[in-house]
Amino acid sequence: MIISDRFLVTGFSGFVSKHFLDFLESEKKVVHIVGIDLFPPSFNIKNFNYVKCDFLKVDLLNKTELEKVISEFKPNYVLHLASFSSVALSWKKPVESFTNNTNIFLNLIETIHSLNLKCRILSVGSSEEYGNVNESELPLKETHALKPNSPYAVARVSQEMLSKVYADSYGLDIVMTRSFNHIGAYQKDIFVVSSFAKQLTHLKNNASEIKEISTGDTSVIRDFVDVRDVVKAYYLLFKKGKAGEVYNICSGRGISLNDVIQIMASILDMSVIQTIDNQLVRPNDIRKIIGSNEKIKLDTGWNNAISIEQSLNDILEYYK
Amino acid sequence: MIISDRFLVTGFSGFVSKHFLDFLESEKKVVHIVGIDLFPPSFNIKNFNYVKCDFLKVDLLNKTELEKVISEFKPNYVLHLASFSSVALSWKKPVESFTNNTNIFLNLIETIHSLNLKCRILSVGSSEEYGNVNESELPLKETHALKPNSPYAVARVSQEMLSKVYADSYGLDIVMTRSFNHIGAYQKDIFVVSSFAKQLTHLKNNASEIKEISTGDTSVIRDFVDVRDVVKAYYLLFKKGKAGEVYNICSGRGISLNDVIQIMASILDMSVIQTIDNQLVRPNDIRKIIGSNEKIKLDTGWNNAISIEQSLNDILEYYK
CATH fold of A5-184+225-251+290-305: Rossmann fold (3.40.50)
| Contacts with B169 from chain A: Cβ below 8 Å | 91, 149-150, 283-284
Name the residue of chain A whose CA is nearest to B105's CA. A95
> Hey, how many other C-beta atoms are within 10 angstroms of the C-beta on A48?
16
Percent of chain B surpassing pLDDT 90: 83
Taking the CA atoms of A111, A113, A115 and A118 in sequence, report the sign of the dihedral they define. Answer: positive
Verify cis geometry, omega within 30 degrees of 0, for the bond prior to B139. yes
When pLDDT is cut at 50, 70 and 90, the band that residue B73 belongs to is very high
| Contacts with B162 from chain A: Cβ below 8 Å | 98, 151, 154
Nearest to A148 among B91, B145, B161 (CB): B161
pLDDT in tens, A49-60: 999 999 999 999
Question: Where in chain A are the domains?
Answer: 5-184+225-251+290-305
Name the residue of chain B whose CA is nearest to A282's CA. B169
Q: Could you tell me which residues of chain B have a Cβ less than 8 Å from any Cβ in chain A? A: 63, 91, 94-95, 98-99, 102-103, 106-107, 110, 145, 148-151, 153-154, 157-158, 161-162, 164-165, 168-170, 283-284
Q: In angstroms, rounded to a whole number, what is the distance separating the alpha carbons of residues B46 and B55? A: 10
Q: What confidence score (pLDDT) does residue B90 get? A: 92
Nearest to A169 among B107, B149, B162 (CB): B149
Q: What confidence score (pLDDT) does residue B254 get? A: 96
Cα end-to-end distance, chain A, whole Å: 38
Residue B99 is classified by DSSP as I
User: Residue A280 class from Cβ within 10 Å (0-12 exposed, 13-18 middle, 19+ buried)?
Assistant: middle
β-partners of residue B320 are: none
> Which CATH entry fits the domain spanning B5-183+224-251+289-305: 3.40.50.720, 3.20.20.70, 3.20.20.140, 3.40.718.10?
3.40.50.720
Q: What confidence score (pLDDT) does residue B88 get? A: 83
Q: What confidence score (pLDDT) does residue A15 get? A: 95
Q: What confidence score (pLDDT) does residue B74 get? A: 97
Say if residue B85's pLDDT is above 90: no
Name the residue of chain B whose CA is nearest to A107's CA. B95
Q: What confidence score (pLDDT) does residue B209 get? A: 65
A217 or A57, greater pLDDT: A57
Q: In angstroms, rounded to a whole number, what is the distance separating the alpha carbons of residues B123 and B103? A: 13
| Total beta-carbon pairs less than 8 A apart between chain A and chain B | 78
Say if residue A284's pLDDT is above 70: no
State which amino acid sits at residue B246: V
Cβ–Cβ under 8 Å, residues B127 and B221 = no
Please state the rounded mean pLDDT for residues A101-125.
97
Q: Could you tell me which residues of chain A have a Cβ less than 8 Å from any Cβ in chain B? A: 63, 91, 94-95, 98-99, 102-103, 106-107, 110, 145, 148-151, 153-155, 157-158, 161-162, 165, 168-170, 283-284
> Hey, how many other C-beta atoms are within 10 angstroms of the C-beta on A34?
21
Q: In angstroms, rounded to a whole number, what is the distance separating the alpha carbons of residues A127 and A248? A: 8
CB contact under 8 A, A95 and B102: no
pLDDT in tens, B130-184: 998 998 999 999 999 999 999 999 999 999 999 999 999 999 999 999 999 999 9
Say if residue B282's pLDDT is above 90: no
A179 or A273, greater pLDDT: A179
> Hey, how many other C-beta atoms are within 10 angstroms of the C-beta on B38?
14
Cβ–Cβ under 8 Å, residues A175 and A295 = no
How close is the nearest chain B Cα to the Cα of A164, in Å? Answer: 8
Of the candidate ranges A279-293, B32-46, B149-163, the one whose mean pLDDT is the lowest = A279-293
Say if residue B305's pLDDT is above 90: yes
pLDDT in tens, B201-228: 988 888 766 788 888 889 999 999 999 9
Please state the rounded mean pLDDT for residues A19-23.
98
Cβ–Cβ under 8 Å, residues A138 and A86 = no
Say if residue A308's pLDDT is above 70: yes
Buried b vs exposed e over A198-212: b needs ≥16 C-beta within 10 Å? bbbbebbeeeeeebe
CB contact under 8 A, A169 and B102: no
Cβ–Cβ under 8 Å, residues B149 and B176 = no
